[in-house]
Amino acid sequence: MDNVHSTSASENSTPESAVGILDKYYSTVKPLRQYLDDVFKLSSGNVSRLVNLSRNGDKDVFLDLLTTCYVGVKQTPRLSLRVYPAALEMHEVIDQAQSRVFRSKRGQNVITSGYRLAQHSDDMGKAGMARSGITNFFVNTIINVFYGIEWRTLLQRRRCDDPSAL
């Protein structure tokens, strides 16, 4: 997903300023909800099969995520994906993504900022982390955001109400 980036409008900035920043680097910028709807629509070809990302009783923080987080893409996604129930927790997804970036040896990435390969036996990462060999040496607030309840909720959402349609 090298050509996708997202940002969220904070209390101190307006969505327009966040969109303006993304517009400088990406040809298409849209709210997260619209981006996900478009990706799922491309995959299924049938809008009616999509389940709403939001549901009755959702917390405001999750609804805000869908509307105030913007995604910038360099090209319109032409992918076809199949959606499965989440098999991993968010921390496992992040751990695997960081491990892949470090294994690729392509240098720093926004998700590996603040992390490095462990160099000493006592430098093997934070307790409870799924991977070894990677250690956190300063806070990466971009990664910390993904540990929030709203991102965990999004990870758990299924595209279809009917599991047999998956």
Provide the residue ranges of all domains of the chain, joining segments of one domain with +: 4-82, 90-145
Residue 125 · residue 136 · CB < 8 Å: yes
| Dihedral angle sign, alpha carbons of residues 146, 148, 152, 154 | negative
- Alpha carbons 143 and 96: distance in angstroms, whole number: 13
Q: What share of the chain is helix, strand, coil (3-state, %, to 5)?
A: 40, 10, 50
126: nearest Cα among 144, 109, 104: 144
pLDDT by 10s per residue, the chain, length 166: 445 555 555 444 456 787 888 888 888 899 988 888 877 775 555 544 445 678 889 899 999 999 888 888 887 666 655 666 667 788 888 888 888 888 887 767 888 888 887 776 666 555 544 456 788 788 888 888 888 888 888 877 754 444 443 3
pLDDT of amino acid 80: 58
pLDDT for the residue 5: 57
pTM greater than 0.85: no
